[in-house]
Amino acid sequence: MNSDFLSKIQKFQPKFEEKLAKYTTWQIGGPAEVLVETKSSSELEEIILTCRQFGQQYTVLGGGSNVLIADSGLRGLVIINRSTKIEVLDSQNFKQMIIIPPVYGQAAQEYYTFSDLDYEENGDPVLVKFDSGVNLPYSIGWLHKNNITGLQWFAGIPGTIGGALFNNIHGGTHHFSDYFYSATVLEDGQKKEVDFIYFEFGYDQSIIRHKRNIIILDVTLQLQRGNVQKAKEVYREWNNRKKIQPKNTCGCLFKNIPPEVQKKYNFPTPSTGYIIDKVLGWKGKTLGNLQISNWHAAFMENLGGGRASDALELISQIKQEVKKKLDIDLELEISLLGFDQKDLVKIL
């Protein structure tokens, strides 16, 4: 790596050949050539612009809760995006929110339910700006302390605000984009304020999933001065129900199947966990130290020391078997980072 570049990033205390497994919830992944942690969006912006100035390859990671990183690790600079900056804005310039309908319905009904906790909120709107590196569970607690509600549906979901927007996470019947107001991004190094349309949100979907030249710096959400007591109860209860999910995973591997496919096969749920369990009979199937979860077959657990190559092989086997038995192309929810094209062809 260029020595001028390295001296420029000295103040971020770079670590060399740092194992990335400890920066992911799945605890899988080889070393980063160089790793830094940023503590604010302005630091994130600064380091990305420095990378661009030196033509240096970079990858931004939030909580590492939705990625599979190759055993060979990641070349270039890995930026761990951390921040605690949350700001309530004075602006009264509110928008009509756009709600994306849920397509997952009763996906996890067999294991935990949430529809009984759902309710309409009708508090006064309030705009809150988050650095993209703010931890999501921390944000929810911070908002409640400040009498603001709206994110309680996302209880028990690890990661950062940036990661939540990247994938447009879902909690119960709510998408993260249901609260989206605006964001600041760096697109090809250009800083811009962007709106809902820019992101092309859908279920587990945003434009950033396909355009790696866009980095989210901060996000403004339109939330509510709602009933904090009720929101806290929902948060606690939801959190409890999600506690049974295995933690040494990356969440669900695949997106749920579309409603028309669910209808075609008359499946009781769109969850891919149902297909892997009931059609393939692969709950508990193990490869190396990776196991399709005995709790919920949409999850794959690392039993300890799991390798990315085994995770990828098991993912590939699931995809091929589902294609063979049902002619369904399962779509990955997680991001694959650092793999060679020859590894990827078997699962894309």
Ligand X SMILES: Cc1cc2nc3c(=O)[nH]c(=O)nc-3n(C[C@H](O)[C@H](O)[C@H](O)COP(=O)(O)OP(=O)(O)OC[C@H]3O[C@@H](n4cnc5c(N)ncnc54)[C@H](O)[C@@H]3O)c2cc1C
Query: Which lies closer to ligand X via its Cβ, residue 136 or residue 287?
Result: 136
- Buried b vs exposed e over 300-323: b needs ≥16 C-beta within 10 Å? bbbeeebbbbbbbbbbbbbbebbe
């669900």: which residue's tokens? Answer: 252
Question: Tokens for 73?
Answer: 């690790």
Among residues 14, 31, 73, 158, which is the contact residue for ligand X, using CB under 6 A? 158
Q: Please, which residue, 168 or 224, has the CB nearer to ligand X?
A: 168
Q: Is 62 in the site for ligand X (CB under 6 A)?
A: yes
- Asked if 245 touches ligand X (CB under 6 A), the answer is yes
Length of the chain (residues): 348
Q: What pairs with residue 37 in β-bridges?
A: 80
Q: Does 47 bind ligand X (CB under 6 A)?
A: no
Give the residue from 288, 280, 277 showing the smallest Cα distance to 313.
288
Residue 103 within binding range of ligand X, rule CB under 6 A: no
Query: CA 84 from chain center: how many Å?
Result: 18
Stretch that binds ligand X, among 4-12, 65-73, 284-292, 338-346 (CB under 6 A): 65-73
Give the pair of three-digit tokens for residue 143: 């908002």
Q: What's the closest the beta carbon of residue 279 comes to ligand X, in angstroms?
A: 23
Q: Does 66 bind ligand X (CB under 6 A)?
A: yes
Q: Which stretch binds ligand X (CB under 6 A): 53-61, 257-265, 278-286, 315-323?
A: 53-61
Residues 82 and 182: beta-carbon distance below 8 Å: no
Of 65, 177, 220, 291, the residue at the interface with ligand X (CB under 6 A) is 65
**Which ranges constitute the DSSP H helices of the chain?**
3-8, 41-53, 136-145, 161-167, 196-199, 228-242, 259-265, 272-274, 308-326, 341-344
Structure tokens at 76: 């270039």
Count of residues that bind ligand X according to CB under 6 A: 33
Part in contact with ligand X (CB under 6 A); list of ranges 69-77, 164-172, 317-325, 338-346: 164-172
Least separation in angstroms between residue 316's CB and ligand X is 20
Q: Of 81, 83, 262, 272, which lies in the binding site for ligand X, with binding defined by CB under 6 A?
A: 81
Which residue in the block uniquely carries the two structure tokens 């990247």?
A: 166
Interface with ligand X, residue 64, by CB under 6 A: yes
Which of 9-17, 163-171, 301-309, 312-320 is the region at the interface with ligand X (rule: CB under 6 A)? 163-171
Residue 130, classed as helix, strand or coil, is strand
Query: Please, what is the minimum distance in Å from the beta carbon of residue 168 to ligand X?
Result: 8
The token pair at 147 is 């009498």
The answer to the question of residue 159 lying near ligand X (CB under 6 A) is yes
Are the C-beta atoms of 90 and 195 separated by less than 8 Å? no
Residue 338, interface with ligand X (CB under 6 A)? no
For residue 127, list its beta bridge partners: 222
Answer yes or no whether residue 293 interacts with ligand X by CB under 6 A.
Answer: no
Helix (H, G, I), strand (E, B) or coil at 78: strand
CB of 155 to ligand X, least distance (A): 9
Any contact of residue 164 with ligand X (CB under 6 A)?
yes
Q: Which of 247, 275, 249, 250 is nearest to 261 (CA)?
A: 275
In the complex with ligand X, the residue whose CB is nearer, 105 or 123, is: 105
Q: How far is the CB of 309 from ligand X (least distance, A)?
A: 19
- 143 in Cβ contact with 307 (< 8 Å): no
Question: Alpha carbon 256 to chain centroid distance?
Answer: 15
Residues 115-144 interacting with ligand X (rule: CB under 6 A): 132
CA distances from 73 to 1, 23, 50, 273, 313 (A): 16, 12, 22, 28, 17
Which H/E stretch holds residue 86? strand 86-88
Determine, following the binding rule CB under 6 A, whether residue 250 of this chain makes contact with ligand X. Answer: yes
User: Smallest distance from the beta carbon of 225 to ligand X, in angstroms?
Assistant: 25
At 42, is the secondary structure helix, strand, or coil? helix
Contact mark string toward ligand X, 6..35, x via CB under 6 A: -------------------x----------
Residues that bind ligand X (CB under 6 A): 25, 59-67, 81, 132, 157-160, 162-164, 166-167, 169-171, 208, 215-216, 245, 247, 249-251, 335
